[in-house]
Amino acid sequence: MTHKFIYLASQSPRRRQLLEQLGVRYELLLPGPEEDAEAIEAVLPGEAPADYVQRVTALKLDAAVVRHAQRRLAPAPILCSDTTVALGPRIYGKPADAQDAARMLAELAGREHQVLTAVALQADGQRLAALSVSRVRFGPITPAQIAAYVASGEPLGKAGAYGIQGPVAQYVENLDGSYTGIMGLPLFETAGLLRAAGVLG
């Protein structure tokens, strides 16, 4: 079945921008005030980063499918995605505040970490999913540089307290994987799911 547009169940402006890069038409399908998005993102004890990001994405998609039905919207595929940063087994979600952001960046400085982005698409009663795993190495970052970056406000609301497309790029010594995946929506994997669902040619 061919679809003219999809629903994007994400608040992220970067994901919107990346979908536009693919030329995909979308409508936002965002949670209402009654939905507890933070509860969905809670980490289970001992959960591995890849298991965590895929589970959270599936839960976000479950919630979006219910929302779509409750709002009696026109049928179309629903896309969800979630990104997490991991240093070994430790999961770095969105920082709670500026102090938490500074702590995360200090721990990531001078080391290699993983960025995992899971994507899930519900289309015609079928669920398709993919996982992108990238490795990023930061060079040294001084406390003054961390303080200046945190003061800019950019780390807040971002997994691992940074956005690869922002000023933090000056500290990225090496990147192995998907740049768009690190931004929040791996376009290679996402395009594959959209093709399978008849959205892209």
For the question of residue 82 being annotated catalytic, the response is yes
Q: What is the pLDDT of residues 95-129, one digit of tens each?
A: 999 999 999 999 999 999 999 999 999 999 999 99
Q: What is the pLDDT of residues 18-31, one digit of tens each?
A: 999 999 999 999 99
CATH classification at residue 15: 3.90.950.10
Structural domain contains residue 201: no
Q: What is the pLDDT of residues 140-178, one digit of tens each?
A: 999 999 999 999 999 999 999 999 999 999 999 999 999
What does the DSSP assignment read for 126-192?
Answer: EEEEEEEEEEEEE----HHHHHHHHHTTTTTTSGGG--TTSGGGGGEEEEES-HHHHHT--HHHHHH
Q: Which domain holds residue 57?
A: 6-196
Structurally, how many domains does the chain consist of?
Answer: 1
Structural domain contains residue 16: yes
For residue 100, the model assigns a pLDDT of: 97
Structural domain contains residue 1: no
Structural domain contains residue 170: yes
The model's pTM: 0.94
Query: Which residue out of 82, 97, 100, 124 is catalytically annotated?
Result: 82
